[in-house]
Amino acid sequence: MERLIQEYAEDHIRTGRWTREEGPTEARKEVERLLPQGLRTPGHYLLSIVTSPGEERVGELWLAAAPSEGPRRGFIYDLLVYAPFRRKGYAREGMLALEEFAREKGMTSLGLHVFAHNSGARALYELLGYRTTDLVMVKDLPHPSSPPK
């Protein structure tokens, strides 16, 4: 939870949604709203990616039903492969295993959000067959007294 809150805050500070001061508090509120019972929140699956053989933990996945998108759409809230284990195919394998897991839960499609600046994750999702359905666009409005760039 602490790792999620910290990363969630960083990502949204980076996009300009929250200031550095408000980021940690706002991120905590949002993560706690999503997971009111922590790991035991019904309908949320907080999973580890482990090696085979060896069962070493190399990353994490968080899947939940996305009722606002229809009862059979799953939503991937988080994917993380720990830094020393990256570019070895663990995310790809983990995401493919997650598809099976989601099917067993009755889900017929999976959605996710990825920041535009996360080119590595975007490349991975495209490789796995995810397509873009929405684009969110932002323009900064500098104070009129700031010199033009």
Ligand X SMILES: CC(C)(COP(=O)(O)OP(=O)(O)OC[C@H]1O[C@@H](n2cnc3c(N)ncnc32)[C@H](O)[C@@H]1OP(=O)(O)O)[C@@H](O)C(=O)NCCC(=O)NCCS
Tell me which residues touch ligand X (CB under 6 A): 79-81, 86-92, 114, 118, 120-121, 123-124, 127
Q: How far is the CB of 78 from ligand X (least distance, A)?
A: 7
Q: What DSSP designation does 103 have?
A: H
Query: Closest CB to ligand X among 17 and 71?
Result: 17
From residue 36, alpha-carbon distances to 30, 41, 44 in Å are 10, 6, 11
Query: Closest CB to ligand X among 7 and 24?
Result: 7
Structure tokens at 44: 């949320």
Residues 68 and 57: their CA atoms lie apart, in Å, by 32
Structure tokens at 87: 């570019």
Query: Closest CB to ligand X among 87 and 139?
Result: 87
Q: How far is the CB of 7 from ligand X (least distance, A)?
A: 7
